[in-house]
Amino acid sequence: MDHRQQDPGSRIEAAVQDPELCAGLLRRLETALDGRGLRFMEVCGTHTVSIFQSGLRSLLPSSVSHLSGPGCPVCVTHDAEVAAMLDLAGRDGVIFATFGDLLRVPGPGGRSLKHAQAAGARVEIVYSPLDAVRLAAQNPDATVVFAGVGFETTAPTVAASVLAARAQGLGNFSVFSMHKLVPPALRALADDPECQVEAFLLPGHVATVTGLSPFRFLAEEHHVPAAVGGFAPADILLALCEMAGMRRDAAPGVVNAYPRAVDGAGNPRARALMDEVFHPADALWRGLGRIPESGLAVRPEFADFDAVARFGIDLAETPPLPGCRCGAVLRGRITPPECPLFGKTCTPASPVGPCMVSTEGSCAAYFKYAAH
């Protein structure tokens, strides 16, 4: 079948496997740019890794500039939240359950959960929220606190763990919700006069849950084009072609360039599950500060499973990590090599900030794929 006769999803599937189609997308991008530049920001850690790992950055036209935004859940976790995690992990009778990438994030004084674990705290790595529920069932004499970190993609699974714990009558399970919502963070960036982003590559994972509607304000209010993109190089190139074309034609919109995985309406069942357990609340973001209605708090009717309510957690003002410029990287103000610590005192083996800790962090990606 001629590629022109295929639906968009089939064309992308073919492009993932066909280098010639990727080359064709690069030519299409040059045409869409029409001599203009394009300064775009991706807001998904998986995009960050794919762009660097595939070498796509080196193939893009020189007029295309790439910035990494606040799309890494570990990276945007605020200093005050890290301090609260360390506090919880150090309490008697608590088992602190977390995904592994949070273990090495530095907090006050450079201490991390790994340091707390070495000092005797019961810090357990789990691979899913339901693993933490099982941990609570296996340890009835302890209180398991699960670190709820992530965006709209992971929040429904954490909500499911709360419902599972309730169904099993596990009164010793709770969640410290540090979940973040992507659209409010993009609004904060778009409102920032120092943020000179001309197009946003939107996260495919998040859009599978939210759909496109929450992102339409970018085009309607800020006149900035945006496209939901997949994660193979061809997926990203197609999204860039769409954004460059919209900018050339002065016709900004929010388009779905990942139709094989993303439905325009998202996943109503996942959103309903998330909304049953959580409600929007103000949240702290590294680099962006407090953003209204950008986080998820546990609803009062599930207070027994809310670590904030159970332990009286107060996100007190916390000194930032000395010298770390992860916040500026996440806002698109600088690229990682512009941080004076990058590759010197801050490396993946000895990270100063979370952007170098997480495998999805832009500093780690720069160090591994572009710095040498």
CATH of the domain at 297: 3.40.50.11740
Number of Cα atoms under 13 Å in the Cβ half of residue 336: 29
Counted domains in the chain: 1
E strand spans, 210-337: 226-229, 254-256, 278-285, 289-298
Give the span between the Cα atoms of 107 and 112, in whole angstroms. 6
Number of Cα atoms under 13 Å in the Cβ half of residue 323: 12
Q: What is the DSSP letter of 286?
A: T
The pLDDT value given to residue 322: 85
Give the span between the Cα atoms of 143 and 156, in whole angstroms. 22
Does the residue 335 lie in any domain?
A: no
Joined tokens for residue 82 = 């890290």
Q: 117 to each of 85, 95, 111, how far by Cα in Å? A: 12, 10, 11
Does the residue 176 lie in any domain?
A: yes
Q: What is the mean pLDDT of residues 143-150?
A: 97
Does the residue 173 lie in any domain?
A: yes
Number of Cα atoms under 13 Å in the Cβ half of residue 297: 15
pTM for the full predicted model? 0.91
For the chain, the residue count is 372
76: region left, alpha or beta (phi > 0 left; psi from -120 to 50 alpha):
alpha
* Residues 202, 208, 210, 214, Cα dihedral to 10°: 30
Confidence grade of residue 2 (pLDDT, cut at 50, 70, 90): very low
Q: What is the mean pLDDT of residues 246-251?
A: 96
Confidence grade of residue 7 (pLDDT, cut at 50, 70, 90): low
Residue pair 218/61 in contact (Cβ under 8 Å)? The answer is no
Q: What is the DSSP letter of 320?
A: P
Q: Which domain holds residue 169?
A: 74-181+266-311
Average pLDDT, the chain: 92
Give the span between the Cα atoms of 306 and 300, in whole angstroms. 8
pLDDT in tens, 23-74: 899 999 999 999 999 999 999 999 999 999 888 988 999 999 999 999 999 9
Does the residue 108 lie in any domain?
A: yes
> Is pLDDT at 371 greater than 60 in this prediction?
no
Count the neighbouring beta carbons within 10 Å of the beta carbon of residue 169. Answer: 7
> Is pLDDT at 104 greater than 50 in this prediction?
yes
pLDDT in tens, 199-237: 999 999 999 999 999 999 999 999 999 999 999 999 999
Does the residue 141 lie in any domain?
A: yes
Does the residue 136 lie in any domain?
A: yes
> Is pLDDT at 301 greater than 80 in this prediction?
yes
Count the neighbouring beta carbons within 10 Å of the beta carbon of residue 4. Answer: 6
Q: What is the mean pLDDT of residues 18-27?
A: 84
The pLDDT value given to residue 13: 52
Does the residue 285 lie in any domain?
A: yes
Give the span between the Cα atoms of 132 and 307, in whole angstroms. 14
Question: Is residue 144 classed as helix, strand or coil in its secondary structure?
Answer: strand
> Is pLDDT at 280 greater than 50 in this prediction?
yes
> Is pLDDT at 12 greater than 70 in this prediction?
no
The pLDDT value given to residue 110: 86
